Structure 1
Amino acid sequence: MKCSHYLYVPLLIGGALFSCTSKTDRKLPIIGERETKQRVVDGETVIDTLYHHIPAFAFLNQDSTMISEKNFEHQIYVANFFFTHCPSICPTMQRNLLKVYQKYKGDERISFLSHSIDFKYDSPSVLKSYATKLGVDSEQWQFVTGTKKDIYGIAEKYLVYTKEDASVPGGYDHQGYLVLLDQQRRIRGAYDGTNDEQVAQLFIDLEILLNES
């Protein structure tokens, strides 16, 4: 049985819709479709809820090293989609994510994952140069590339729209959401990375999720 908790972006606006900043014991929602399954334990029926989560993945990072979901085990992380020569929303989105990175730099509970949607140009060396210029100097923030099928496929799992489109500036159309994942790779919030109010909400919701964890 499935419930209609699937909020496909652009309706996925951010944690500000769901969280309460005045209660430190507040829990964030789990976003996406969910499925219930029944099983019998000691003669009694137990209902389990299976939540939408990011599946296993493997991508090449800025250091030409393959990384997977195992690199994020037992961590909260923030993911997004961008490309290095993006002329529109990416510079603002990445600068705002950099603020979050700088606050939590060295905090082993939190990581960051940026997926390039330009599978043609954004090689590991290009991503490395981009990360260095941005001011990222640790493995806490990974920049990854992969095939079009794999990158665009995983974007759908994050509920983020991405598309190769020659008619738009830069040749790629995508949404600038910063997606907050818990330790089970479940989506707990999404925030417009170009909107200062929503980025501020991400800071608040990160603390809520850390307290929950």
Structure 2
Amino acid sequence: MRPRQTLVLGLILLVPVLAFLFLKSFGTNRYALPNFLPDHVDSTQIEGKWQRDTVFHQIGDFRFQSQAGREVAQAELADKGMYVASFFSTTCPDICPRVNSQLMRVQEKYRREGRVRLASFTTDSHQDSVAILARYAEQYGAIAGKWFFLTGNAASLNKVATEEFQLPRPLRAGSTMTPSSKLFLVDKDRRVRGIYDGTKEKEVNRLITEIEVLLYTYDHE
């Protein structure tokens, strides 16, 4: 056999070996979700060298009244797994119905998954807001204990929206914030792991995919 033919044959035989080694080395890598809402940068000294590390914001505690008339705290939403947060108004004619229709898909997908919950914060402030929310939740088929429509005083809602989820502040002082098309995926450590446009089916498909990633992470810790 000629030297050139021998070399070609050797390379052909070598390709499967290299492919096997590549897959063995890198095949176990998984897609990891990023963190959002950076808080500050920490410096830590390791072996005499300073290393900078970004610390991401943790959503602060809150407690609001739900459509069932009882108070719901963040611990009930996050500690069991994760929740999807949104901000809406019952009088919003366009964005809110589109977002809530997409959230119905998420609820149906995870109907039997107790670690996934939804929390929709209303920007309305009515004397009979609980009754209004109950009718609104019924309109979208909200499952009790799965999808919470939450309300409270304007100052507390604005604080959660603008300081915790970093949404824009109201244009006028003392007014409630405007509804948002954004959805936030919050993990059990109360950190935001994804932000999505809730009016777009493709974005909500991505949300569902990333919920699956988080669930997989929890199952294989």
TM-score (norm 2): 0.74
Q: Distance between the aligned counterparts of 2:214 and 2:67, measured in 1?
A: 28
| Structure 2 counterpart of 1:114 | 120
Q: Distance between the aligned counterparts of 1:149 and 1:162, measured in 2?
A: 11
| Structure 2 counterpart of 1:56 | 61
**Superposition deviation, residue 49 in structure 1:** 5.8
**What is the number of equivalent residue pairs in this alignment?**
185
8 Å Cα contact 2:80/2:114 also seen in 1:
no
- Which among 147, 152, 174 is matched to residue 153 of structure 2? 147
| Residue ranges of structure 2 left out of the alignment (5+ in a row) | 1-27
| Structure 1 counterpart of 2:86 | 80
Give aligned-pair identity as a percent: 29
- Higher-RCO chain (CA-CA 8 Å, sequence separation at least 6): 1
Q: Distance between the aligned counterparts of 2:217 and 2:168, measured in 1?
A: 29
| Structure 2 counterpart of 1:98 | 104
Matched letter for residue 216 of structure 2: N
Larger radius of gyration: 2
| Structure 2 counterpart of 1:89 | 95
Q: Distance between the aligned counterparts of 2:95 and 2:127, measured in 1?
A: 18
8 Å Cα contact 1:59/1:66 also seen in 2:
yes
8 Å Cα contact 1:38/1:45 also seen in 2:
yes
| Residue ranges of structure 1 left out of the alignment (5+ in a row) | 1-22, 166-170
TM-score (norm 1): 0.77
| Structure 2 counterpart of 1:11 | none
Q: Distance between the aligned counterparts of 2:168 and 2:210, measured in 1?
A: 23
Q: Check if 1:69 corresponds to 2:61.
A: no
Deviations 1:121-180 (A, max 9, x none): 671111111111111132111101011111111011112336377xxxxx9633211110
Which shows bigger deviation, 45-54 or 201-210? 45-54
Cα RMSD between the aligned structures? Answer: 2.7
| Structure 2 counterpart of 1:197 | 202
| Structure 2 counterpart of 1:210 | 215
Change (3 A) 1:117 1:141: same
More helix as a share of residues: 2
Q: Distance between the aligned counterparts of 1:78 and 1:209, measured in 2?
A: 12
Q: Distance between the aligned counterparts of 1:134 and 1:62, measured in 2?
A: 12
